[in-house]
Structure 1
Amino acid sequence: MTNTHRNLPADWEILYLGHCSELEGDSNALLPDNNDEDLEYNLFKSKKPYCTYAYAVSYVGAIKMLQKLGKPVLPIDLGLVDMVKHEIITSYTIVPPVISRWRVFDESDTYPNRKNFDIPSLKHSTLYSLGLTFELNSTLGFEHIYVINLKTRTDRRKKLEALAGKFNLNLEFFPAVSKDDEEAQIDPNTGLRSTHKACYLSHYRIYKSIEERGYESALILEDDIDLELSIASIMTNIHRIVPSNWELLYLGFCSNWEGSGDPIEDKINISPSHKLYNSNKPYCTHAYAISRAGIQNLLGKLTEEVRSPIDLELVGMVGDKKINSYTIMPPLITQWRSPNNPSDISPGQKALDFYFLKYSALHYLGLLKESNTTFGFNFIYVVNHPDRTDRLEKVEQLSTRLFFDKEIWHTILDNNTYSINELNPNSELIPSVKAHYVTHYNIYKSIIDRGYGSALILEDDIDLELSISTIITDVHQSLPDDWELLYLGHCNNLEGKSSKPIIVNKIDIRSPYKLFKSEKPYCTYAYAVSRAGAYKLVEALKNPTKYPIDQEFVNLIQTNKINSYTLIPPLVVHWHPSSESPTDISPVDQTSDFYALKNSTIKFIS
């Protein structure tokens, strides 16, 4: 305020220290000779500074207000805005505001049945620093929350209603356009699906609704979502650092391109677990917010004529820098895809990326107990020798029973980066072990080339826990963010004996399945690799030596060059316990299969 008083023009009559309008500072240049572009707070000529919770009045201004506002006709803030608009009074606004409302779940005394116009977020909240307020209002700091819901999906609506009850949220269930509606029918030559058109129209009509109702901001959700349990607290922090010129804000997305570059600066480090980034390619539209300026921007560029799916339209605008968009990383809201809950928009299509929440609200409420069709990873590779059709048949039976999607990756590969002889032909490995090594190495290259955030690698001689889809949900919630390898099966009965389990998810620590820091997890028949792990492995293993690939992994783990975790007991085991079915890699040696599954899927099928 010291700088403000020094720069305030002598003719001021009203000075707004707080307001409820994103129009302030939007189209006005800085006041000449009274501001510094490098300052965080600057003065602007007022435009439409709604609300009267924080403003100063000069002596001359008070006289003018008494003359013009003596007979109440309009609410006081609208009366003042009218005087500003007609230049009856000289008014200035500090942008961003230095005073903000702190309404949480209580209603406004002035407008008891109306939600806030807008609540600008303070950079450094005094109440927050004193611990006197923490959570946002019943719309997570936005003016309204829409949920797009098909009338036939009452199952999804019930889940959202349960979430609303948990978080004291006010949700409006907005009727979705169905792919079967006449307006969603398309020319088959366009390449679009009717589901894409229906989704586009549903979102577009919400944009029109936001404009017609005059909301300053709104959060748009689709009905197949799950929330981070601490979303209210985290959003309090996010609102305080999101730039005032935001137009789109993604709380959830389906893209591993997000989070590139440096995060938006947070000077007091109020949210170490979640950061704000400039959006890159935030595919999917299951959770994003739009400001009033964003709505005007979108409606100026989009029409009801559908050219491409709505998320691609938005990503295109973000990429062309035609809209100011920000993304929260990691996401606060995810889709809860599962075998029993396919996408209504692209029912046969895999998710581009899949994130697990650290503390799933649906899981906490007991409403979600299964992973997606790739067990929570982006992809599943199954390594199979072309001659072992018997094993491939068993894998097909497993995938049919457990509803998981996979790609068969043959040991002898075509059209891949390296052949067996090209990758260090002087290696001392025997041909079968080297072929195994190169196969896995090429999978790491594939993970990077395809842009996957993670992948599960299985060999074809496995059996899986019958309830793996449920158990893996808990595992993902407990898995540390920095993981690079995750063993779901191994061949060392000393694994986990000399350390304590990693306890990250304290919601369900009674689970018999625990994560341990890996020590010597021999065998490679069931392990997952993160994108960061794939990069490390491609660099570290590009020149095979005399060691098999599982031994190379152990060497990297023992020298702390890769961050690896092991699940105990395993969810995946070998299914060839005798010499009647030896391994292809080491046919002379017997597999060290010392673990038995709680409920074998192969036995269940048999």
Structure 2
Amino acid sequence: MDSVLMKRWKWRNVAERVNKVQLRYLLADLVADGRNLPVPSQAVRPWVPEPRLWSVDKIYMINLKRRPERRARMEQIFEILGIDATYWEATDGQELPGDIIYEVLPGYMDPYHKRPIKAGEIGCFLSHYRIWKDVIDRKLSRVIVFEDDLRFSEDGMERVKEVLEDLDGSKMEWDLIYLGRKRLADQEELWVPGHRHLSTVGYSYWTLGYILSNEGARRLLAAKPLEALLPVDEYLPIMFNKHPNKVWSSFYPNRNLRAFTLYPLTVFPQRYTHEAGYVSDTEDSVVVVDEAVDS
């Protein structure tokens, strides 16, 4: 075969691979929208990639036991994209267990709604807190944490793989990398030299997806957040010292989390608050007035 034909064959194979990847993300987005996938044949099972860990030790997917429809939807998305995720039962704000003692941060009020912390926010924090402990207990080097209400951007997991490759090559120290977030403050964020998709990060909300190192889990636990608990997406910016509320931050003197963000982002919410079908078990829960609670 002459060189021209060889080049054509090579680029044809590349194009087919790219189109297959793009198709997987399109199908995953249809599932995130709650739509049924097209069935090309009654006789042939649709091809899906082999599930893998994408260069981490474990991938967690947090889900409330009473929300099996969300779990099923996310598991279908993971199957389409070849993500080997492990189900992690969320701590339910409606049924907080009694084996962990915590105190809400004194004087905490939601900065937008001007209300005390909600039971769902406590449950959400404890769900992530238990994962951080699991990372330490199992001696995991790095993990990915997903919540159950997200959608992926095109080529999102490929960018995750590339950012981890860059970190391995640069040997840069890091603790947490946002895969999805809501940027809240006009704080300067800069590209990290030598990394294709990595930026510094300012004050942000959301914990729908992030990469966490073992050292990052240790730092989050060492700060003893159960002694001054607040919502997890307020706690993280405090720990990397970008939170605008200096009073809240003062409860955590060792604000030493080395945090970054993927850019462009990899995951986004399946629904936003103004969209039809939006449901939040965190917001749709009771306010907790008592500052000292057994959970």
Closer/same/farther in 2, CA of residues 257 and 277 from structure 1, 3 Å limit: farther
Residue 287 of structure 1, CA deviation: 0.6
1:214 pairs with one of 126, 139, 143: 139
Measured in 2, the distance between the counterparts of 1:215 and 1:343 equals 30
User: Are residues 1:181 and 2:95 paired?
Assistant: yes
Residue 319 of structure 1, CA deviation: 1.7
User: Are residues 1:141 and 2:55 paired?
Assistant: yes
Closer/same/farther in 2, CA of residues 251 and 193 from structure 1, 3 Å limit: same
Residue 181 of structure 1, CA deviation: 1.1
2:82 pairs with one of 168, 171, 174: 168
Alignment: residue pair count: 208
Closer/same/farther in 2, CA of residues 148 and 308 from structure 1, 3 Å limit: same
Partner of 1:286: 208
Partner of 1:263: 191
Measured in 2, the distance between the counterparts of 1:179 and 1:291 equals 27
Matches within 5 A, 1:70-85: none
Which structure is higher in RCO with an 8 Å CA cutoff and minimum separation 6? 2
2:68 pairs with one of 149, 154, 161: 154
Residue 211 of structure 1, CA deviation: 0.8
Partner of 2:126: 201
SS in structure 2 opposite 1:183? coil
Residue 183 of structure 1, CA deviation: 3.5
Partner of 1:254: 182
SS in structure 1 opposite 2:198? strand
Residue 258 of structure 1, CA deviation: 7.9
Closer/same/farther in 2, CA of residues 258 and 231 from structure 1, 3 Å limit: farther
Partner of 1:84: none
Query: TM-score of the superposition, structure 1-length normalised?
Result: 0.32
User: Are residues 1:226 and 2:163 paired?
Assistant: no
Residue identity matched to 1:246: W
Closer/same/farther in 2, CA of residues 306 and 156 from structure 1, 3 Å limit: farther
Structure 2 runs not aligned, ≥5 long: 1-48, 109-115, 243-254, 286-295
Do the aligned residues in 2 keep the contact of 1:136 with 1:233 (CA within 8 Å)? no
Do the aligned residues in 1 keep the contact of 2:96 with 2:123 (CA within 8 Å)? no
Do the aligned residues in 1 keep the contact of 2:103 with 2:229 (CA within 8 Å)? no
2:265 pairs with one of 331, 335, 351: 331
Residue 179 of structure 1, CA deviation: 1.3
Measured in 1, the distance between the counterparts of 2:265 and 2:186 equals 10
Measured in 1, the distance between the counterparts of 2:77 and 2:87 equals 13
Closer/same/farther in 2, CA of residues 263 and 312 from structure 1, 3 Å limit: same
Measured in 2, the distance between the counterparts of 1:186 and 1:159 equals 35
Do the aligned residues in 1 keep the contact of 2:59 with 2:145 (CA within 8 Å)? yes
SS in structure 2 opposite 1:319? coil
Closer/same/farther in 2, CA of residues 261 and 341 from structure 1, 3 Å limit: closer
Measured in 2, the distance between the counterparts of 1:141 and 1:258 equals 32
Do the aligned residues in 1 keep the contact of 2:103 with 2:226 (CA within 8 Å)? no
Measured in 2, the distance between the counterparts of 1:231 and 1:146 equals 17
Residue identity matched to 1:310: V
Partner of 2:4: none
Closer/same/farther in 2, CA of residues 189 and 301 from structure 1, 3 Å limit: closer
2:236 pairs with one of 300, 314, 317: 314
1:345 pairs with one of 282, 285, 290: 282
Measured in 2, the distance between the counterparts of 1:307 and 1:249 equals 22
Measured in 2, the distance between the counterparts of 1:150 and 1:287 equals 16
Do the aligned residues in 1 keep the contact of 2:180 with 2:265 (CA within 8 Å)? yes
Identity level (%): 23
Structure 1 runs not aligned, ≥5 long: 1-134, 349-606
Do the aligned residues in 2 keep the contact of 1:176 with 1:202 (CA within 8 Å)? yes
Partner of 1:241: 166
Residue 286 of structure 1, CA deviation: 0.8
Measured in 1, the distance between the counterparts of 2:235 and 2:50 equals 31
Closer/same/farther in 2, CA of residues 306 and 180 from structure 1, 3 Å limit: farther
